[in-house]
Structure formats: structure tokens, C-alpha cells
Amino acid sequence: MDSLDLAWIDATELARLIAAGEVTATEVVQAHLDRIEAVGERTNAFVTVLGEQALAAARDPRPGPLSGVPFTIKDAFDTEGVRTTRGSALFTSYVPDRDAVAVARLRAAGGIPLGKTNLPELAVWTETDNLVTGRTLNPYDPERTPGGSSGGESAAIASGMSPLGLGSDLVVSLRGPAQNTGIAALKPTHGRVPCTGHFSEVLLRLWHVGPLARSVRDLRLALSLLEGPDGADPYAVALPAARPVARPRIGWVTDAFGPIDPEVAATVAAAATALADLGYDVEQVELPWLAEQDCTELATPLLLAETQSYVRARCRTGGGTASVDRDLPGAAGNHAGGLRRGRAGRGTAAVLVRRLARGLRRAALSRGAVPGSAARAAGAPGRRRRSPLHCRRARDRAVQPDRDARRRAALRRDHERPADRRPAGRPLVDRPGPARRGRTAGDGEPGARTASGVLTTGHATR
């Protein structure tokens, strides 16, 4: 079977092919490594590629439902012996001594880690960009974002570099990237999958661990392997089996969470009609309180207030404590006040964002996580203290890897191609023809992109 074809087969089918002896695990892993080599820099989806380790594991894969099937891991999960940056200069040297529970469970099922994927700093944003590895781009359009915080995973899966990914969701970090890149993702009920080994410990009550894939059946398979308590995460519980519902009910909204592009609203309405035609009980639901209340202005202070305490504790062991303590002392108080008022003002959220970013930046500089930066941050004795702008520019030059320049040059060449060589509605990393499946909106071409950037792809399901 052709290497490119293997890269577009879903995890369930790959497991069947390997078990039947029609392909080997080594062939499957190599096909995905070839795909990473071909298009990886064009999306910047990966932080670390585990090529040699993956090939070694593929030569003698563990038995199990995923035997020999490669998978990728968001860089917020601990991985034994593999650097885990969490998208922050504070953790560029952090190498865990054990796997996160979710990673260990996929390994135990026979899965082979292929690499770790990019995320925003500390996995706290709806785009995927950081000062360690740079920005991840949407494989369908490099001018658009793949979303966040599991944006590296969604970009890798959507461009055929991985059949299955492990991500996490606090606000929209699984579902948003899946929507932006036309794949499938599942945010399980909180506690169904343990968060042990996922950053950060203080936010376990908010994080949801879940899979990303190109088919819904892959999500079902992955969830069956991931779920169940581990004895460490206090929120992880054994949930009863779901009771079959004779006639599922589906509610959908179009008037909440801010302005909605008309094309997006029309696409959602078409999906609701299609579900109704299949026999589901579909009803448009009005949630006026969502339209009246900006939920992000409530969530942001909550998230930042809890994150800053974790960052402060981590910085005490390596420097930077003073700056974090100075810049973030009022976050918890502001959060409590916001909740008492029933909403957090836009100004409060903005101030907290700036304070957290400033604290992380100074802590990283003080620890020397950026080469030669500690002296610049503190100012050498007898010399005028350099301006924050100068320090920031110097830090940016030091942190950005050389590969960013090559990646941007490649993207620039793609942008400069004549229009007739860049077919409308197709990604920079095209899928092979036979793998394009499913019905789509618009002109029927899989991968068609709406004006708002939402992909009307049909290949997210089988």
C-alpha cells in the first residue's frame, strides 16, 4: 500500500490492517514520519518528533486494540524521558520521569507515540502560539489559526501526520481546533478520563482529557481505552454505562457567544435539518443569558487567578519569585470580586492577562530559560537598566528557533504561487483523492472553506 494512502487511513482501520498482517506497524509509522517530513514545517504542528523511538517500538509492538498504531500527544501531557515544554520557556528543560495516565493507557493498548504537538503557553489560549516553538498554522489556510489550545494536534491530524491525538479541553481546547480544521474531537464528561500528569495540577477540576481523530469511530475506540479512575485524580470516577435512548434529542443555538457569521449559521441550520431527516428530535434552543453574559469575562479571571498560584510555586525553585509575587498579588482578589458582581469586567480580565504574561516573562528571564537573558532582565551592575521593550525584543530573537525562518519562507513561496495553482477551498497539504469522503456544504468539494474560516468538510466522519 502506498505510504501516502496509509497516512490517511483512520486508527481503527490501521489497527485492523496490522492485526490482519496486511501491513506492518513499521510501514504505518514510517508512512506518518514521511508525511511529517514532507509537510511538518508548513504547519509547525510538532514540538518533538519521536522518529527513532517510534520505529523501534513498531518493530515489536505491544498487543492490544491499538497495536502498532501511532498517535500524537499534546505537549501539556507528561511523557517519560521526553521533554515537555508546556509551551513556556519556564519548562524548556523539563523532562518527566513518568507518563501521564492518558499517555500510559494508550501505550498499554499498543499505541506508539509519534511525537508531541504544539500548544499556546501553559495551554491557556484559543490560538496555538508561544515563544518556544512559534505559531502553528491551519493546514487548510496558513493565514488562519487551527485554534487552541490543542491546535498542534488538530493541525497534525488534519494534514495526515497523525491518525489519532491526545488533547485536552478547559474552555474550547478540543472542540475549537477540531472545528477549525475539519476533524472530530470529543470532550468527555469531567472525571471520565483522569487528568493525572496533565498541566497543571491546580486546574484538574477544570480540565477534560479527550481524543482527536478524523473519524467518530476512532473517538469511540480511544475513549474506551482512556476512561476510568486511576486512584490519583480525585475527580476521576467510574461512570455507569450509558443507557440507550430510544429517540435522542438535539438542541442547537445560533444566538449566543457573540456575533455569528451568516454562513456559519446557515451551515449549522443545514446540519440540524439533516439530523431531523435522520429521525432525531431536533429543536432550536434560546439561551438569552448566554447572549447577555460574556462567559469569557467570567472564565478568564477564574483561570488566571488559579494559574498564577501554580506559576509562583514553580518559580520559587528556580528564581523569578519576586517578579511573580510583585506582578500577580491581586489576581485572586479580582477574581473573587468579579464573581460577587456576577460578571468580571472587561478591564479586570485584560489586566489579569497582562499581569500573568508579564510574570511568566520575567520569571523565565530570571531563571535564564532564555540564553543570556537573566543579565538583560536584571541589568548589569553599573549599567543603565535596559528598557522592557529592548529585553522583549532580545528575548524574542533568542527564543525563536531557526526553523521558523525556513517555515515562513516556505509559506511565503506558497502564497506567491499563481492563483490557478492554488485551487480555492483546498488545503496547502492536499489529501489524496480516494480519501475524500462524505457530504459537504457549498459546492460539494470536501475541504471547502467558508468566509469565516470554518471548514465545511465531510471527512470528519465515516
The Cα–Cα gap between 397 and 223 comes to 41
pLDDT surpasses 70 at 90: yes
User: 150, 159, 173, 215: which one is catalytic?
Assistant: 173
Confidence class for position 409, pLDDT limits 50, 70, 90 = low
What's the pLDDT score for residue 440?
31
Confidence class for position 451, pLDDT limits 50, 70, 90 = very low
What's the pLDDT score for residue 352?
54
What's the pLDDT score for residue 452?
31
> 36-45, 386-395, 450-459 — which is least confidently predicted?
450-459
Burial 398-425 (b: 16+ CB within 10 A, else e): bbeeeeeeebbeebeeeeeeeeeeeeeb
Look over the chain and give the mean of its residue pLDDT values, rounded to a whole number: 76
Q: Identify which has the larger pLDDT, 348 or 182.
A: 182
Catalytic residue list contains 74: yes
> 80-84, 381-385, 448-452 — which is least confidently predicted?
448-452
- Give the mean model confidence (pLDDT) for residues 85-89: 91
DSSP secondary-structure letter at 79?
A: B
The Cα–Cα gap between 180 and 138 comes to 8
pLDDT surpasses 70 at 215: yes
Q: Which residues, 6+ apart, have CB-to-CB distance to 175 below 8 Å?
A: 169, 185, 187
Q: What is the pLDDT of residues 42-62, one digit of tens each?
A: 999 999 999 999 999 999 999
What's the pLDDT score for residue 244?
77
The H or E element that residue 168 is part of is: strand 164-169
| Whole-model pTM over 0.75 | no
Q: What is the pLDDT of residues 345-387, one digit of tens each?
A: 444 455 555 665 666 666 666 655 544 433 333 343 444 444 4
Sequential DSSP letters for 299-331: HHHHHHHHHHHHHHHHHTTTS-HHHHHHHSTTH
What's the pLDDT score for residue 185?
98
The Cα–Cα gap between 268 and 441 comes to 10
Q: Which amino acid is at 391?
A: C
Do 57 and 148 touch, CB atoms closer than 8 A?
no
User: What is the percentage of the chain residues whose pLDDT exceeds 70?
Assistant: 63
Domains with residue ranges and CATH for the chain: 3-226 (3.90.1300.10), 246-369 (no CATH)
What's the pLDDT score for residue 248?
84
pLDDT surpasses 90 at 223: yes
Distances (CA, A) of 442 to 202, 214, 439, 449: 44, 21, 10, 9
Catalytic residue list contains 150: no
Q: Identify which has the larger pLDDT, 204 or 374.
A: 204
What's the pLDDT score for residue 288?
76
In sequence order, what E strands does 170-317 have? 184-185, 208-213, 249-252, 281-284
Confidence class for position 410, pLDDT limits 50, 70, 90 = low
Cell numbers that stand for 264 in this block: 456559519
What's the pLDDT score for residue 335?
37
Cell numbers that stand for 414 in this block: 506558497
Q: What is the pLDDT of residues 245-265, one digit of tens each?
A: 778 899 998 776 677 888 888
Most confident of 128-137, 407-416, 439-448, 450-459: 128-137
User: 88, 149, 200, 373: which one is catalytic?
Assistant: 149
Q: Identify which has the larger pLDDT, 379 or 237.
A: 237
What's the pLDDT score for residue 174?
98
Cell numbers that stand for 30 in this block: 514510517
- Give the mean model confidence (pLDDT) for residues 207-224: 97
The Cα–Cα gap between 388 and 149 comes to 27
pLDDT surpasses 50 at 419: no
The three-class DSSP label of residue 218 is: helix
- Give the mean model confidence (pLDDT) for residues 455-461: 31
Q: Identify which has the larger pLDDT, 406 or 442.
A: 406
Confidence class for position 439, pLDDT limits 50, 70, 90 = very low
What's the pLDDT score for residue 357?
62
- Give the mean model confidence (pLDDT) for residues 424-452: 39
Q: Identify which has the larger pLDDT, 97 or 437.
A: 97
* Phi and psi torsions of 114, nearest 5°: -100, -25
Residue whose grid cell is 513499521: 26
Cell numbers that stand for 122 in this block: 501553559
What's the pLDDT score for residue 331?
37
Q: What is the pLDDT of residues 144-173, one digit of tens each?
A: 999 999 999 999 999 999 999 999 998 899
- Give the mean model confidence (pLDDT) for residues 390-405: 48
Do 118 and 165 touch, CB atoms closer than 8 A?
no
Judged by phi (left if over 0) then psi (alpha if -120 to 50, else beta), residue 189 lies in beta
- Give the mean model confidence (pLDDT) for residues 124-134: 90
Q: Which residues, 6+ apart, have CB-to-CB distance to 100 below 8 Å?
A: 77, 78, 79, 196, 197, 198
Q: Identify which has the larger pLDDT, 65 or 327.
A: 65
Q: Minimal CA–CA distance to 14: which of 51, 66, 54?
A: 66
What's the pLDDT score for residue 421?
37
Confidence class for position 432, pLDDT limits 50, 70, 90 = very low
Q: Minimal CA–CA distance to 112: which of 103, 101, 125?
A: 103
Q: Which residues, 6+ apart, have CB-to-CB distance to 56 below 8 Å?
A: none
